[in-house]
Chains A and B, each alone.
Chain A
Amino acid sequence: MLLRDMREGLSRYKIMGINARNRDFIAPNNRRRNYPLVDDKLLTKKLALDAGIQVPELYGVIEFINQAGQVAEIAAPHKNFVVKPCRGSGGEGIMVIQNVIGTSFQKANGELVSAGDMQYHMTNVLGGMYSMSGRADRAIIEYAVQFDPVFNEITYQGVPDIRIIVYKGVPIMAMLRLPTRRSDGKANLHKGGIGVGVRMQDGVTMYGVQGSSFVNEHPETLKPLAGRTIPQWPFLLEMASKFYDITKLGYVGVDIVLDKHKGPMVLEANARPGIAIQIANRRGLLSRTEKVDAKGDISSWTMADRLDFAMSAYRDEPGADLFAAKV
């Protein structure tokens, strides 16, 4: 059976493999010297703010070991906040704090973190335990997103976010990422979060995937994943597309969250976005990039051109008509 599938091949369905992603998309489109713009989250924040893109408010930065105990001090005016390594990857080392109880911190899942544990976590972050290439890092303390209740029905403890892949400035594929019990409040797919494919023309959710298996309902809330509309969809696409302009990364994944009060904001961007998004969308990425490449040189496109293309080019893909937005 597997042999038959292998003979048919994945290229027939224009599925992108890791090797092709690295060699044909990341290497030619993402200049190495632009990587720090997205790998360093403080830098990303600054760039986004300059370009008028909303990001979670920065409360403070911890740079030296002797500041490791200052988390409570920095976070004092704010009940909830997020601690994350500045150069972390894959959601590692991120701690979402919901409440400060005495000297302890309460995580999103209710677990208590003592002041000592927090200080230890800080020293690990600063020591570079979570940073790419293992070099010394800084810790960011920032606003914890109060997520929009729109996805309450299909979220378990944590913040759902929307990953949009932008190719040469054009958003080509998107996925709603939902935290589960297994993913410990994080939305990352490889940690057990759920990925839900999103229809490009209108932001309606489609198929779900958890790990490597297809799912139709959220495993904790048991509510269907499909047919939900992501609010302000065109605006989200525009935010993602702007990231191409500020980072000049030709193949980039942009992670956006919806805040209850402040609206959409960009959490981070990724110069090496994963390829599991194809499973959630039941669509090979190569079929999407091909359509962009077919347009030839698109460097002169305006934002309107790009959004127009993103919301119309993939309208007639097989299966896109299977889903209807719930009213």
Chain B
Amino acid sequence: MRSSQVWVLAAILALIGLLTMLYKHLVLEFPLSPNTTYNSWYVEARVDLSSTEKWRKGDKPLLFSMQLPHASDRFVLVDENIVARNFGYEIEKQQGDNRVAMFSKRRIDNQETIFYRAIVYELDSPTAVEIMAPDLPDSPYSKASRPPVEEGQKEQPIYVAVDALIEEAREKSASPKTFVREIYKLARNAEDDRIQLIRDTVDTRMHATDIAVLLIEAAEIPTRIAHGLQLTRDQRKGQFVDWLEVFINGKWQAIDPEKYTFGLQDKYIVWWYGNKPLHVLEAGKAKVESYVSVRQNTNDALTRAIWKSGQGGNAFLTLSFYNLPLDTQILFKVLLMIPVGGLMIAFLRQVVGVKTFGTFMPVLVALAFRETGLIAGLLLFMLVVGLGLVIRNYFDQLKLLLVPRLTAVLTVVVIVLGLLAMLTHQVGLVVGLSISLFPIVILTMTIERMTLMWEEYGSREALKVGFSSLFAAVLAFFAMNNETLGHLVFAFPELLLVVLALAMLLGRYNHYKLTEYVRFRQLQRSLRELEAREALKRPTPPAAE
């Protein structure tokens, strides 16, 4: 009775899930597999505004500007859209080809959020884009625009420094390119008295790049600072990359600050040029914060269809994760995989018979592995748990009470993670940040459980369960990190109903675990022998009369 109920319910759930998926695939043309060539990206800038003080009559209306990304010969902006409820806005062209969105609002009371979204296509081969020759820079430090030196007076020290630096670079160089390179090298030498003088006179916060710009412009070569994003992986809070471009030989060329080489910049999508920040509060009072995020666009055709259909389209299109803000989308991409990992663990425990410390510990560890990478994650896990075991053992000798001892171990785990982050940073590895995502409490409980098991059942059993937990975590990692699976669950969240159905069926599984076949193997053999012996004992049946 109970059994048939489960089967019927599971069948209904699975059917709903699969039929919805089929409909979305056949009618709405949701693709079943992710794009393998990632040449399309979502980029999103999100601006949070909050009032800093209560609005009073007579306060100025709020006006602020935000830079928008540039199309280039390499990147095409396919679909842009701004979500700014209650704001008026217009897009202006500003100096340096920048596109700036100006947002205005009479008053701001609480929290407001503005989104800018775009799909960016990366072209396989750059298209020719007409390049306008820029105006010559108008530098206050160039010879032409300086105030003339009065008779008997010395030239101001800053001009002397600028001239000396330009002169030195000219002497060492043979072409505009090499000249810029030498300037750049000089600007990076913070020890140089002349560089220090410039910094002290103009702005103490100047970076080497700013000084290089000042010098190059003083030599009347057009130059600009660009800010862009690298489109190589998903980023929830993206970091802008800054670089310097110089106009030489009729082309804007980017300088590689490491190798001092020049080239056409094609790694980054340019967001804006110049030394303004991303957003500027032009008038009014508010706290403005902005984030940019990037996500691989795995469904070019699909997302465009969804965005174009807008409101009032098909319910399946409206009720889709693709309509959520990008950073939420990235979050859900991870969240949706957790049930898949859970199902994996349920299978491993019920059907295979793998023992683990804590039921879902392997899922959480697998989540952490997604951030650190598998090998680094495994090493980290073993290192932290190993150290934790040693320290837990020492705390035991101090005879601490249970809960404070757990807290102490927890603290040690955090310290160990912190030290590891610092050390790896020193060595130049980038695991630093991802370490922080390690499930600290889970690690602590693992250490505690493992110590108990070590004491009660010996090292062999403890290590065995420890490694089988890791094994389960690695399997869960592969399941949860599978691209096709990730795409399927994200594009077809109704598949979670199928996961639910499978979990229910596993819950009714009453057959042997695989490990039990090994455990009872000897018993099985001896029962077979006993049976054979019994058969021999029995008198042969009398022949039919």
A residues near B, CB below 8 A? 2, 5-6, 8-11, 13, 15, 17-20, 22-24, 65, 92, 116-117, 119-120, 123-124, 127-129, 190-191, 212-214, 278-279, 282-284, 318-319
Contacts and interface: CB of A to CB of B under 8 A. Distances in A.
B513 A18 contact: yes
A10 B528 CA distance: 11
A127 B401 contact: yes
23 contacts: A2-B518, A5-B517, A5-B521, A5-B524, A9-B512, A10-B512, A13-B523, A13-B528, A18-B513, A19-B510, A20-B510, A20-B511, A92-B456, A120-B399, A127-B402, A127-B403, A128-B402, A190-B457, A212-B519, A279-B520, A282-B523, A318-B534, A319-B533
Contacts of B519: 212
Contacts of B533: 318-319
B516 A318 contact: no
B374 to A, nearest CB: 30
Given A5-B524, A279-B523, A284-B527, A191 B457 contact: yes
A129 B510 CA distance: 31
B401 A65 contact: yes
Say what secondary structure dominates the interface of chain A: helix
B348 to A, nearest CB: 13
Contacts of A24: 510
A13 B521 CA distance: 11
B526 interface: yes
A317 B516 CA distance: 23
Contacts of A15: 512, 516, 520, 523-524
Contacts of B403: 127
A13 B512 contact: no
Nearest to B461: A190
B466 to A, nearest CB: 17
Contact of A2 (B509, B513, B517, B523): B517
A10 B401 contact: no
B452 interface: yes
A123 B401 contact: yes
Nearest to A129: B402
Given A17-B511, A19-B513, A116 B452 contact: no
Interface string B455-476: 0110000000000000000000
A129 B516 contact: no
Contacts of A319: 530, 533
Nearest to A281: B523
Contacts of B523: 13, 15, 278-279, 282
Contacts of B520: 10, 15, 278-279
Interface string B233-250: 000000000000000000
Q: List 6 A-B pairs, minimum CB-CB distance, nearest first.
A: A127-B402, A17-B512, A318-B534, A120-B399, A318-B530, A23-B510
A123 B402 contact: yes
Nearest to A123: B401
B522 A212 contact: yes
B392 to A, nearest CB: 12
Contacts of A282: 523, 526-527, 530
A199 to B, nearest CB: 14
A127 B512 CA distance: 36
Nearest to A9: B512
A19 B525 CA distance: 22
A124 B522 contact: no
A191 B456 contact: yes
B527 A19 contact: no
A23 B534 CA distance: 32
Nearest to B506: A19
Given A15-B516, A18-B516, 18 more contacts: A2-B518, A5-B517, A6-B517, A8-B524, A8-B528, A13-B524, A17-B513, A19-B512, A20-B510, A20-B511, A20-B512, A22-B510, A119-B399, A127-B402, A214-B526, A278-B523, A282-B523, A318-B530
Nearest to B535: A318
Contacts of B402: 123-124, 127-129
A119 B401 CA distance: 11
B79 interface: no
B531 interface: yes
B50 interface: no
Contacts of A65: 401
B106 interface: no
Residue picked from A6, A11, A19, A214, most chain B C-beta under 10 Å: A19
Contacts of B521: 2, 5
A320 to B, nearest CB: 9
A209 B427 CA distance: 54
Given A129-B402, A318-B530, A19 B456 contact: no
Contacts of A212: 519, 522
Residue picked from A2, A124, A129, A214, most chain B C-beta under 10 Å: A124
Interface in B479-521: 508-513, 516-521
B20 interface: no
Nearest to A65: B401
Contacts of A8: 524, 528
A11 B518 CA distance: 14
Contacts of B399: 116-117, 119-120, 123
B471 to A, nearest CB: 19
Contacts of A318: 530-531, 533-534
B350 interface: yes
A140 to B, nearest CB: 18
Nearest to A8: B524
A68 B512 CA distance: 44
Given A19-B350, A284-B527, A214 B457 contact: no
Contacts of A13: 523-524, 527-528
B452 A10 contact: no
Nearest to A316: B534
A6 B518 CA distance: 9
A124 B403 CA distance: 9
Nearest to B398: A120
A116 B399 CA distance: 9
Nearest to A130: B452
A25 to B, nearest CB: 10
Nearest to B455: A92
Contacts of B456: 92, 191
A10 B521 CA distance: 9
Contact of A10 (B350, B457, B508, B516): B516
A120 B395 CA distance: 12
B290 to A, nearest CB: 45
Contacts of B522: 212-214, 279
A23 B527 CA distance: 25
Interface string B243-280: 00000000000000000000000000000000000000
Nearest to B402: A127
A63 B401 CA distance: 15
Nearest to B396: A120
Contacts of B510: 17, 19-20, 22-24
Contacts of A190: 457
A115 B513 CA distance: 45
A129 B401 contact: no
Of listed B350, B399, B518, B527, residue having the most chain A CB within 10 A = B527
B239 to A, nearest CB: 43
A116 B526 CA distance: 50
A72 to B, nearest CB: 17
A92 B449 CA distance: 13
A10 B519 CA distance: 11
B102 to A, nearest CB: 59
Contacts of B517: 2, 5-6, 10
B524 A10 contact: yes
A278 B530 CA distance: 14
B513 to A, nearest CB: 6
